[in-house]
Amino acid sequence: MTDRHHRNAHLRECFDKGKSLNRFSFEKLPKAFIPQSVKPYLYQKDKDGNRGIHADKYEFLVYRLLRNRLEAGDIYVGDSLRFRSFDEDLIPKDTWKRDQQKILQDIDAPLLSRPMTEVLNGMEEELEAQYEEVNRRILSGENQYVKLSRKKSGEISWTLPYVGDEEAVNNPFFDEMPQIHIAQLLQFVDSRCQCLDAFTHILQRYVKTPLDRHAVVASVIAYGTNIGLGKMGAISDMNYQTLFTAANNFLRPETVREGNDRVSNATAKLPVFRHYNIDDIIHSSSDGQKFETQIHTIRSRHSPKYFGLKKGITNYTGVANHVPFNARIIGANESESHYVYDILANNTTDIRPAAHSTDTHGTNEVNFVILEGFGYQFAPRYRDVRDKTATLSGFKHPSKYDAQFLLKPSSKANTKLILAEEDNIKHIFASLATKVTSQSVIIGKLSSYARKNRTKKALWELDNLYRSRYLLSYVDSLRLRRNVQRALNRGESYHKLLRAVAYANAGRLRVRTDLEQQLWSECSRLLANCVIYYNACVLSQLLEYAERKKDFELADRIKSISPVSWKHVNFYGEYNFRDPGEIVDLDQLVNRLAALEWNSADSKQPN
């Protein structure tokens, strides 16, 4: 029996029998695993001078080493999602060997459709030319936005200027909009895209209870605004029992998500939507927003920066052209970078981003190659881009590059390792695409420094090449940096809207379970989605009016207005759901707005 098996069996016997380690003699305790550096702190002598082990410290050491081995992937727990063997997260090897070609044909992943040799040859040609061109533009002064300075040692240093302001919300244009109550707004949205039809009864066809649209709207607002069903029953024309029954029967994360998809898809079909494209493509972004929880669940974690001594969660959301296309709740302690691919891969709307941005928190060791592999251009914003350019990778030894280059590789890519691990890399991509397990778990294990093997190192090498290509473009192109900033600003604007929506109880969540946290996330997203859709409807119809009149100045101003505005939407007060009033007459509203003279300078803000 090995020392590890002997140690495990011994401790299992101790704990099963409820025995203290103090009752075992020094000779019977396994000791071969004890690191030499900790022995002085662990060993002790009794009053008779006999050598022994401090039992409590010994037990603590075992737990610490066990944790380290679990994190490193040296020890597996089959029943655990996080700590089971990485191979168990992938398509079974027998299935992969037998059906590899069929699996790859069914997956829409550009990187998998080409031999790795061809991918690397194309990357080498592009990247090496890029090193030459980017450095030439910097040294010649053609790239005027890179500021050069010479140190006393004679070394040339460079910096990039800060790009971008905060996204404008609550555009002055919406000052002219009449006030509308949130219940009335949801009635308008439902009349146009039937989003409430997504709320099916939990018993499906086995029950004939009709959908009470008013009660469902009230329940969605109660959850989304954080008011709660009890308080909503006290301040509305519906009693608590009616709301409780409607919420239990019709409100589930999947039904609210379907309602969100209907609103998002309807927004994407509006004429103004395509004018929100950045460089003629849909450029999305994702970011997390922290919310304190008053009732703690397993996802509620400490984050002193945001919650002090309290706990909270992160609402991680993807936003494309101002539309929140997907969201999920994660722990405040979890890395947002593990969910970037997840938020895109599980997008169930018709909105398909071509580029995706995050801040520095969204980057890790594999996201460039993973997103590239599935057809997305990953475009993060780095806090300090100079630090990142110090780790560039290339296809030649660093000494082979021009000594005057300011941007050159610090290492040569290990292409032999990448080619040797081609099959395993494609196995991982196929497993992500077929969703055999949670994508965030696979990404987390791949990007972890503790868990290393040949396949992971090969994937990191490939990721370094794609990251190097992006960093060179990022330094070279002011347009790219501005586009990234615009995409991220839209995410920040959405966060402000969501804060305004979930206003009750100072934004501190009072739901009791993880499921209710996800339900709150979807309901608050639905309310925000409806506000954006309503605004986009007004802007679209006004845009069509301006184009019919051939008023191109007015049309340009409308295209520049962000639909993220809530100053004309009333979330507060007493609620009257049974009789919210007449549905908004959009034609009449647009005619009134078109007749107004609103200041072009105030209205023209970046969208």
Q: Is pLDDT of 474 > 90?
A: yes
Q: Does one domain contain both 479 and 345? A: yes
Q: What confidence tens digit (pLDDT) does each residue in 90-108 have?
A: 999 999 999 999 998 888 8
Domain boundary among 442, 469, 495: 495
Q: Does one domain contain both 259 and 328? A: no
Which pLDDT belongs to residue 438?
Answer: 83
Query: Is residue 448 in a domain?
Result: yes
Query: Is residue 140 in a domain?
Result: no
Q: Does one domain contain both 417 and 283? A: yes
In the numeric block, which tokens belong to residue 210? 């009709």
β-pair type (311-320, 301-302): antiparallel
| For the chain, the helix, strand and coil percentages under 3-state DSSP, each to the nearest 5 | 55, 10, 35
Q: What confidence tens digit (pLDDT) does each residue in 295-322 have?
A: 999 899 999 999 999 999 999 999 999 9
Integer Cα distance of 135 and 475 in angstroms = 10
Q: Does one domain contain both 392 and 523? A: no
Q: Does one domain contain both 476 and 399? A: yes
Which pLDDT belongs to residue 8?
Answer: 62
Q: Does one domain contain both 488 and 561? A: no
Which pLDDT belongs to residue 281?
Answer: 97
Domain boundary among 440, 475, 495: 495
Establish how many alpha carbons lie within 13 A of residue 209's alpha carbon, considering only the half-sphere containing its beta carbon. Answer: 17
Query: Is residue 100 in a domain?
Result: no
Q: Average pLDDT, whole number, for the chain? A: 90
Which pLDDT belongs to residue 436?
Answer: 86
List all residues 6 or more positions away from 131 whose beta carbon is below 8 Å from its beta carbon.
394, 401, 405, 407, 408, 409, 472
Give the residue with greater pLDDT, 391 vs 23. Answer: 391
Longest dimension (CA), the chain: 103
Query: Is residue 107 in a domain?
Result: no
In the numeric block, which tokens belong to residue 92? 């079974």
Q: Is pLDDT of 168 > 80?
A: no
Which pLDDT belongs to residue 452?
Answer: 67
Q: Is pLDDT of 449 > 80?
A: no
% of the chain beyond a pLDDT of 90: 65
Q: What average pLDDT does range 158-180 have in this prediction? A: 83
Q: Does one domain contain both 383 and 505? A: no
Q: Which domain holds residue 529?
A: 172-266+501-603
List all residues 6 or more positions away from 247 whose beta carbon is below 8 Å from its beta carbon.
219, 222, 223, 229
Question: In sequence order, what are the beta bridge partners of 312?
Answer: 292, 301
Q: What confidence tens digit (pLDDT) does each residue in 214-260 have?
A: 999 999 999 999 999 999 999 999 999 999 999 999 999 999 999 99
Range in 69-83, 279-293, 440-454, 484-498 the model is least confident about: 69-83
Which pLDDT belongs to residue 598?
Answer: 54
Q: Is pLDDT of 604 > 70?
A: no
Integer Cα distance of 316 and 333 in angstroms = 13
Q: Does one domain contain both 224 and 329? A: no
Q: Does one domain contain both 252 and 328? A: no
Query: Is residue 152 in a domain?
Result: no
Query: Is residue 104 in a domain?
Result: no
Which pLDDT belongs to residue 418?
Answer: 97
pLDDT bucket at 484, cuts 50 / 70 / 90: very high
Question: In sequence order, what are the beta bridge partners of 509?
Answer: 293
Q: What is the DSSP letter of 320?
A: E
Beta strands in 58-188 (DSSP E): 147-150, 156-159, 180-181
Give the residue with greater pLDDT, 166 vs 116. Answer: 116
Q: What confidence tens digit (pLDDT) does each residue in 115-151 have?
A: 999 999 999 999 999 999 999 999 999 999 998 888 7
* Residues 224, 527 contacting (CB under 8 angstroms): yes
Which pLDDT belongs to residue 515?
Answer: 94
Give the residue with greater pLDDT, 264 vs 591. Answer: 264
Domain boundary among 11, 45, 75: 75
Query: Is residue 131 in a domain?
Result: no
Integer Cα distance of 66 and 61 in angstroms = 8
* Residues 53, 43 contacting (CB under 8 angstroms): yes
Buried b (16+ CB within 10 A) or exposed e, 561-598: bbbbbbebbebeeebebeebeeebebeebbeebeeeee
Which pLDDT belongs to residue 16?
Answer: 74
Q: What confidence tens digit (pLDDT) does each residue in 520-565 have?
A: 999 999 999 999 999 999 999 999 999 999 999 999 999 999 999 9
Which pLDDT belongs to residue 1?
Answer: 45
Which pLDDT belongs to residue 269?
Answer: 98
% of the chain beyond a pLDDT of 70: 93
Integer Cα distance of 487 and 358 in angstroms = 9
Query: Is residue 540 in a domain?
Result: yes
Q: Does one domain contain both 467 and 507? A: no
Total domains in the fold of the chain:
3
Q: Does one domain contain both 594 and 523? A: yes
Q: Is pLDDT of 600 > 50?
A: no
Which pLDDT belongs to residue 343?
Answer: 97
Q: Does one domain contain both 472 and 567? A: no
Integer Cα distance of 369 and 570 in angstroms = 45
